[in-house]
Structure 1
């Protein structure tokens, strides 16, 4: 019976040993899992996550302005150095930081080796056929470009177009821009962003976010426009305005891109393309147009009645060839503005008919210290309204403005109308 009792004691000790080993294994596995999770979390925080903005527009523009582009879209200094070295091997690349005080690049003595087409190497993701081929002679000429050619080159815009037949939506994807000029002379960089307008109706106006301190911005933003039939795509034109953000003054215009959609077939799927950025066409004409104004001074009530009647021969201040004019009226007393009014906007016309009346109370007796200013502006929802022309009427005004003012002072309670030439704003 003694051997049987000893065997029972051995079997009683086995569950205890198994429990101890299982407890140690559980603690080890939990600690290992926690360590792996911490490592993954730290690795994810160090990596730059890919972000892609998709704008779905139904009459309302959605702009993610609150994201920090430097954290989410910037690249580390080491990766930038690697990219620059790779670019220097495969394509021509001008480093703006290597320019001297005069803005010129140092001459390179090394000869250029035969390499693949730089246009193809810089646009690997774009399948559109190039119209202009690069020859070895052109490569040699580009190694020492003149200062005029550098100033004329404003960069290249890369984008894609697509039409979704299921949702009946027109999709425009702004990929990136390369080789932009530096608008900030101190830092030799720019803060670029893009405004896009669908012409000629100008109903759809959108803009990208601002990317800080870069000459090769990667926007990667998609805009979807609903309610545009596929049959009307051929009649539309895409206008891209490339600007550099300025915190303290008006944003600098880098250039523009105009893409007529006539002849572009989107039925086969997405089309990738790139266009050279050109200088903005100011489209100034010899005259700024004319404005028909009627004035009447009521001496008994000490009021001035102003009627903005018509405008004609206004210049083409828009890419579509037509402007959306309206008139802003400012009343001044001793060079201090005391009242302001404005008319309604007239869409797409160089000859606008307003017929709007405004009554101003005069704070002093007589019109000696009073002057009135008319500003004809082009309405633009996407940016600041441009001044088409300016007109000032008063005792110190020259030409027809002074004559008109003298007549209403001599003949009060009489409505007197005259045409006036607009001057530059």
Structure 2
């Protein structure tokens, strides 16, 4: 009996044998995530040597360790490949998903000094329907309104059909961006016989929070350069040109603001200031401004500013209200005259004048000023300089 007790309590390093059944446990120095070697149905008896047991366990654990390291190496390699693929999109969007169709992916972004912006648009003419389609795509590198800051611009585009000049369409205003994307399409009805003599003028404005419209630049495309027989739109990419300064007026300039309220049918004309006024014999005299409202060829109302004392840069800053029915807008105009006050016994003498009104009476900036104030942005003050003639 004592001998049997000694046999049953006999222990080996790595495996304990009790009642002829193996009891496994983890050897020190082997990582805990590894499973012990299976016995493969073999039973360990007291007759097995300790060295054989240790050798079998070591060989099996080394094989499992090599397999585990290989698996971990593969996982690390896969993770590196995944991170590498993600790194290209980390912190931004994939530009390939947001390209505008028809643009060259390798488009040139090298802009010269004092660049005013570059505009992309497509033009297509349908001869059968006599329709001219203009697809406004985008603009890049517009100047910022505030020097030293970026994206301080609220651009929009007006597209004029020339030589008429009074027919134009306007894009939406893009807030706080110098690289706006529009993707808007506009249609003009143009007879076949007029296509070759017509042109498109795209003028880019800065809205400046709705207070006023500052011209950034423009481009002009002659429709005779567009293949009217093409079934595909023609893509244009042009740099904006700065408005060419007209030669200074010999009579000076006047700054006027227009505001029309269609609800109460009231036109407000504000005479702000004048500059570079020139008098006969270069003698500065007193001046005033006469404002006349015409409906058709009939004078409806006349008003006059107070007299500005001898100055070539007078400030008037006076507002005048006129009753103007919506039905009469298309046949009305405003005549502003800068006069020398009380010249001899003949009354006031005209130094210069400007006409603001519909296409029947005005052209160029004067017509644009009228349309913007009356039609495009009612209820808002639209202020602009005009040359006196």
TM-score, normalization by structure 2: 0.43
Task: Mark the structure with the bigger radius of gyration.
Answer: 2
TM-score, normalization by structure 1: 0.40
